[in-house]
Amino acid sequence: MQEEEILMKKMTFPDNLLLKSWVFWIIVKCSLKISYEMNSTDTLTQWGKDSFYGLILPWFCGAIWSEFGFLSMGAIAANIYIVFVILFQIYSLSSSLKKVIWTLFVLAMFTIWLEPWITFVIRGNLEALLSFTLLKGILFAADAISSAVWFMLTYWICETLDKEF
């Protein structure tokens, strides 16, 4: 009976502007990643694009832009779950929703701070690793700022969900 009630609900955007914007951003970033993956080819130029996007886009998209496919697709699935719960206002899932949001925050921090190092070590390219170390040192401030923004937004979104749900 409860599943039928969920399926019969109308999809509505939340009243809160932060939640509306966040749902819209989730849809945009998931669509961007899926379309990028569908158009990607295995060339050296593509590897350069992947590396550049892998450094910059995690600041804005989090784990969705991970180079690890299972992590990226898992983050997309979690984001779709979030959008589904918010748009269909499934109040009974609000506690699990916050756990998913904080999990995505942790995965975003992994993607920003650890994943670039792991991918270069796995590839075993010492020259690229040395040049990356310099680049990552320069981008340290951007990593720190984006991490702080991610934390604040995650906290505000969870607080807003408490008020909305």
In a domain, 4, yes or no: no
Q: Which residue from 58, 104, 108 is spatially nearest to 78, judged by alpha carbons?
A: 104
For the chain, 165 residues long, give each residue's pLDDT as a single digit of tens: 456 555 566 888 888 999 999 999 999 999 999 988 887 666 656 666 666 677 788 999 999 999 898 999 999 999 999 999 999 988 888 889 999 999 999 999 999 999 887 877 776 666 666 666 777 777 888 899 999 999 999 999 999 998 887
Q: Is residue 1 in a domain?
A: no
For 15, the token pair is: 């009243």
Tell whether 105 is covered by a domain.
yes
Is residue 111 a part of any domain in this protein?
A: yes
Domain-located, residue 2: no
- For 40-104, the DSSP string reads ---SHHHHHHHHHHHHHTHHHHGGGG-SSHHHHHHHHHHHHHHHHHHHTT-GGGHHHHHHHHHHH
How many structural domains comprise the chain? 1
